[in-house]
Amino acid sequence: MQVCGACLHSRVRLDPVWAGFAFNAALRKMVHALKFQHKLVLAPLLGQQLLQHLPADIPGDGFDALIPAPLHISRLRERGFNQALELSRPLASSWHMPLRSDLLRRDRATRKQTHLDKPQRRANVNQAFSATPEVRGLRVLIFDDVMTTGATLHAMAKALRQAGAEQVGAITLARVT
């Protein structure tokens, strides 16, 4: 397992973070087809592939819930589905872990992160999320499709920690290297 230098210096700790794949051209095409061309059939296939590429001991000591990255209601209406939720279903099922899309919400509509640099991404998602009090004392895994700078995952983790989550780990389908 590799440790990201930037992650070591982050103020919001994610413990641990796993990514199934490096975000290459082929995977980019599949993720974009899922998200922007509504190819929902790809979600369970990619989720199963992710399961096969993660270390066998995940979810490790046991987390209480798997939380997909939430979409703002306006983006959800636009897209018609939440790709993070759809991609995380095979994980939750395989691990017999509750999939809890109700514990974290995106309160503020944000710009698409695709063409933003790291400081812009951080500012874009700053205080965009809030967690319910139900997370107090829970050990949770958050899931997002692709980790580029980690801004979204860190903003989600910050909201969960502020609401009292005991531990916040993260899993992504892919990581931009």
With 0-12 / 13-18 / 19 or more C-beta atoms within 10 angstroms meaning exposed / middle / buried, residue 103 is: buried
Q: Is residue 69 part of a domain?
A: yes
CATH number of the domain to which 75 belongs: 3.40.50
ω before 16 within 30° of 0 (cis)? Answer: yes
Q: Is residue 167 part of a domain?
A: yes
pTM, whole model, 2 decimals? 0.91
Position of tokens 């590429």? 53
CA angle at residue 171 from 6 to 12, to 5 degrees?
40
Number of domains observed in the structure of the chain:
1
Q: Closest Cα partner for 112 from 42, 53, 35, 170?
A: 35
Q: Is residue 3 part of a domain?
A: no
How confident is the model over 85-128, as pLDDT tens digits? 999 999 999 999 999 999 999 999 998 888 888 999 999 899 99
Q: Is residue 52 part of a domain?
A: yes
Percent of residues, the chain, with pLDDT higher than 70: 92
Q: Is residue 7 part of a domain?
A: no
6-10, 54-58, 94-98, 134-138 — most confident range? 134-138
Q: Is residue 129 part of a domain?
A: yes
In this prediction, residue 130 has a pLDDT band, given cuts at 50, 70 and 90, of very high
Residue 112's pLDDT is what? 85
